[in-house]
Structure 1
Amino acid sequence: MKRLIMMAAAVLMCATSWAQQALWGAAPVVSPEIHSDNTVTFRLKAPKAVSVQVTGDFLPARPIETPRGIWEAPGIADLKEGKDGVWEFTTSEPLKPELYSYSFIVDGLKMMDPSNVYLIRDVATVTNVFIIGGDRADLYEVNDVPHGTVRRMWYNSPTLKMDRRLTVYTPAGYETSGKRYPVFYLLHGAGGDEEAWINLGRTSQILDNLIAQGKAEPMIVVMTNGNAWQQAAPGESSKGFTVPSMSPAEAKNAPEGGFELAFPDVVKFVEKTFRVKKGRENRAIAGLSMGSFHSANISRYYPDMFGYVGLFSGASSKNDKSTCPVYTNYEERLKVQFSKKPLLYYIACGKTDFVYKSVTDYRKLLDDNGYKYEYYESDGGHIWRNWRIYLTEFAPKLFK
């Protein structure tokens, strides 16, 4: 008996030691530290480092040339080494309420902040994040309100001949209410996937808070994977841990206009699986960048499907060389779409966005034809900060 007790004690001690293992790597410093005046201090213990910098969207943006135009890159600031090899940087001014991302650069090597466990992936880049609360940023936080449910689900797309993954948000009370709900289809940009809006866009937090405040109608939000060649986000399909990329080689094998042509597969699955209200007056579609292009094309090609359309940082344009039915008869299809009087056609863009001119040209086309739309212009460029703003502006306008 005594031997059994000793063995049990040994097993317990072993289990306890494993349970405590994660605590051994506790961060040696506090970072980021948000002060009462909303200045923020970043720290990194790196006694052997020669240079430590922080880069993030809380710093003034750096314009960089790309093949697609001028992009806004996160700014960079130097940390100063202090006692015990702890490097430190404090913002010179308070930060405005917002969700911010950042990372460190140590002797030229980018790394995450080991003191901050909060991370987000954007395509192939991982960054730390923190929130300065207040104003609109309160919508990005998890507040003490009723919460919806987020599901990752698989559906079959006969058009694309594969099973595909999507993310679905159902509002608080969906499981027990017995009610039917309108549906908002929310599309990501180039390089993104079905995880982008829920993680980077804070969709569930924004919808939870807007609905709880009575500013938005309870709705289902469907976030698809807009890459027609892809089953799911990196690491979530049978392809395993593939490297995320903006321009994967598989893209050239995807049918032209494949995502748009296959979109009814998504709608059919959602309307079969969830308690939804049907009809164009109960369906909305919106997207950012590439997702804006998709939203414009889908809503134009299927003019009876969506009563609400949102184009964030992007627009649709003619493609006279294409033979794909989605892109042909451009102006004729646009005329048909607006003859059906969309309940809301919403366009939003940043003043310094590299797509600003194309959005302006598209607005002129709409104006010249007398097609009614709403326009929202913000500061900044092609960034998630803007797309979260557009979501908070667009969602309250739906299904009224």
Structure 2
Amino acid sequence: MKTKSIKTIFITLLGAFLVKIISAQEIQRNRGPQVVSPEITIDNSVTFRLYSEDAKSVRVNGSWMNMGETLEMKKGDDGVWTATSAMLEPSMYHYNFILDGVNILDPKNPQAMRDGTRYANTLIIPGEASEYFQVKNVPHGSINKVWYNSPSLDLTRRMYVYTPPGYEDSMEKFPVLYLLHGGGGDEDAWTSLGRANYILDNLIAEGKAKAMIVVMTNGNANQTASITDWSKEPDASLSVEPGSNRSEKEIMDGITAFPNSLVKDVIPYIEKHFKVKADSENRAIAGLSMGCMQTQIIAMTNPELFQYVGCFSLGIHFNDPFGIISNNILIPAYDKNLGTMKNKVFYVGCGKDDFVYEGVQTLRKKLDEHNFNYIYKETDGGHTWANWRDYLADFTPRLFK
């Protein structure tokens, strides 16, 4: 009886196991055809595929397209929607599917990123122009997610701190680059979209850039951290947005809150808790778009702090709220300090098709007016991460020489 019971139990369990396997296979078959997406072809065009029997329309929205442009996908008899892009230049791109008017991720592509509240898939077109930010077989630095106290904002906040390969075991002190993101971004932007850590890994390994610490802050003074890890609801009074009923002082306070915090809270924290060289010859600051405005405010109102300054895709602008900052802070500070500043590098980068192009040229005129020495890099394209990665890769080898 005992032997029979064991056999019965075994057969029962085996039968249940086989049923699960068959059920799983059946579910897999019911999911429709197995598709590959995205598929990069030898000529660097990209084919996108999505299985959906019920969709009425599917389109692709990609970062290589013009504003508002989409690529229509065609439905096959098997329910698979397909579209192929034109040939793309080597770079990193992001995209979404638009299924019956709703943005969705590509379910076949595990590579995804977040830009503020927007999520998208990513793909990298291989080639010489994208090699500098690829993951290579070189020594890698570390990304530290650091929570710190910010008395000037009365918040506990988070920043990302890149430490170069070998930092943990080294007795050496390192120079520091403070790297600021743009509007809509947060402390995650320069690693997830800008791939700053891989750019530094590769440049350091090739001997093109000095080993350095890179501090990537959250430039939104009303946030404790990125939207995925808020520890407190943002204070609207610290927003950089002008608002319909906000006074000029309120706008000024909102825009200058983070620059003040970086000087009063972030730099002292880094110089206390990390192995850094704490002098202006070993400090650099750079930022893109909104972060470039913050960079200018910090560097020009504290000219003794940084010998290296990088301005990516923003200049001197006269549209609110930037016009308020330009007229009340930047122009007076440039006129006061440019004649005596002795920066080793002042770097300006902008795309030919960038909507901020005119303001960047206004900044250049101000620098030229004071015979101030600077480096200018003009690239194709507009207000894009493709350009900002390029500027970072060109800027960092010039630092701490």
User: What one-letter code is carried by the residue in structure 2 that aligns with 1:28?
Assistant: Q
- Structure 2 counterpart of 1:33: 39
- Structure 2 counterpart of 1:369: 370
CA distance 1:167–1:248, shift in 2 (3 Å): farther
- The offset of 1:336, in angstroms, is 2.4
- RMSD, aligned CA: 3.5
User: What one-letter code is carried by the residue in structure 1 that aligns with 2:58?
Assistant: V
The structure that is helix-richer by fraction is 2
What are the equivalent positions in structure 2 for 1:37-116 lying under 5 Å apart?
A: 37-59=43-65, 61=66, 73=67, 75-92=69-86, 94-116=87-109
TM-score by length of 2: 0.84
- Structure 1 counterpart of 2:359: 358
TM-score by length of 1: 0.85
> Do 1:190 and 1:246's aligned partners in 2 also have CA atoms closer than 8 Å?
no
- The offset of 1:241, in angstroms, is 11
> Do 1:299 and 1:337's aligned partners in 2 also have CA atoms closer than 8 Å?
no
> Do 1:300 and 1:334's aligned partners in 2 also have CA atoms closer than 8 Å?
no
- Structure 2 counterpart of 1:260: 259
> Do 2:112 and 2:121's aligned partners in 1 also have CA atoms closer than 8 Å?
yes
Q: Deviations over 1:102-135 (max 9, x none)?
A: 1111222221111111111112211111001111
2-side partners of 1:196 and 1:152: how far apart? 13
Matching of residue 296 in structure 1 with residue 309 in structure 2: no
User: What one-letter code is carried by the residue in structure 2 that aligns with 1:86?
Assistant: V
* SS of residue matched to 1:267: helix
Match of 1:132 among 98, 101, 125: 125
- The offset of 1:154, in angstroms, is 0.8
- Structure 2 counterpart of 1:194: 187
> Do 1:296 and 1:316's aligned partners in 2 also have CA atoms closer than 8 Å?
no
Overall identity of the aligned pairs, in %: 44
- The offset of 1:321, in angstroms, is 12
- The offset of 1:53, in angstroms, is 1.1
Runs ≥4 in structure 1, deviation > 6 angstroms? 1-4, 23-27, 251-254, 318-324
- The offset of 1:329, in angstroms, is 8.1
Stretches of structure 2 lacking an aligned partner (at least 5 in a row): none
Q: Deviations over 1:84-105 (max 9, x none)?
A: 111111224x321100111111
* SS of residue matched to 1:154: strand
Stretches of structure 1 lacking an aligned partner (at least 5 in a row): 62-72
2-side partners of 1:189 and 1:320: how far apart? 15
2-side partners of 1:201 and 1:367: how far apart? 30
Q: Which has the larger radius of gyration?
A: 2
- The offset of 1:222, in angstroms, is 0.3
CA distance 1:86–1:332, shift in 2 (3 Å): closer
- The offset of 1:211, in angstroms, is 1.0
User: What one-letter code is carried by the residue in structure 2 that aligns with 1:43?
Assistant: R
> Do 2:241 and 2:321's aligned partners in 1 also have CA atoms closer than 8 Å?
no
CA distance 1:150–1:329, shift in 2 (3 Å): closer
